[in-house]
Amino acid sequence: MDDLVARFRAGEEAAVREVHQRYAGAVRTVARSQLSDPELISEVVQQTFIKAWRAASSFEPGREFAPWLYAIARRTTIDVIRREGRQAHTTVDEEQEAEPGTSESFEHVWERWEVRRAVDELPAGEREVVRLSNLEGFTHEEVAMRLGVPIGTVKSRSARAYRRLASSLRHLDLFANQTGVAHVEGGEAQ
């Protein structure tokens, strides 16, 4: 990742494309948390990457790249909302002031995206076990019956999946220690 960020900072075209490919979905999630118009969401994604590309040389080495990019996305979303004069859509900070606890914070949107990305990267068998047991609420026995595999297979896939998720989501714990964001346990952002 450090190599990609260094190449991105240098303005290398292939690195800019790779950063876009890697983070466009997460940036879209940030925009979608405040906007409902697909055209405006696409505009935020495009503007975010243009702004990041223009500011790339000022990105501090050693700093976490994803939170920096998502902060640009959040500010860009706010700019679009203001420009559009949409009174129905307020910023996360304004919603939290008006009705505490009713709005999802930027950090939670980012965490949710990261968890989804990590689950999507699991091998198919492990991903299906995680989906059925965590999202659908099935027991190991029920998962085994649905998938037509022995319960031991479900348990081993589950254990492997959670080891992979813990490794893949380790950066969330680091981010949580810096910002007070909740830790990830059992593959879910808490």
H helix intervals, 10-149:
13-32, 38-55, 65-84, 92-98, 106-120, 124-130, 140-147
- Residue 124: phi and psi, rounded to 5, are -50, -45
Question: Which pLDDT belongs to residue 95?
Answer: 44
What's the rounded Cα separation, in Å, for the pair 186 and 166? 8
Please say whether the beta carbons of 132 and 138 come within 8 A.
Answer: yes
Q: Which CATH architecture has domain 106-189?
A: Orthogonal Bundle (1.10)
- Residue 184: phi and psi, rounded to 5, are -100, 125
Q: Which residue has the tokens 């925009």?
A: 31
pLDDT band at 160 (very low <50, low <70, confident <90, very high): very high
CA angle 81, 87, 90 (to 5 degrees): 60
Above 50 in pLDDT, residue 98? no
Mean pLDDT of 10-37: 86
Above 50 in pLDDT, residue 147? yes
Per-residue pLDDT tens for 47-64? 998 888 888 877 877 788
- Could you tell me where in the chain the CATH 1.10.1740.10 domains are found? 2-98
pLDDT band at 151 (very low <50, low <70, confident <90, very high): very high
Question: Which pLDDT belongs to residue 154?
Answer: 92
pTM summary value: 0.50
Q: Which CATH architecture has domain 2-98?
A: Orthogonal Bundle (1.10)
Question: Which pLDDT belongs to residue 149?
Answer: 93
Please report, for residues 16, 17, 77, 141, 151, the alpha-carbon distance to residue 22 in angstroms, rounded to integers and kept in the order given: 10, 9, 19, 36, 35
- Could you tell me where in the chain the CATH 1.10.10.10 domains are found? 106-189
Residue 151 pairs in a beta bridge with none
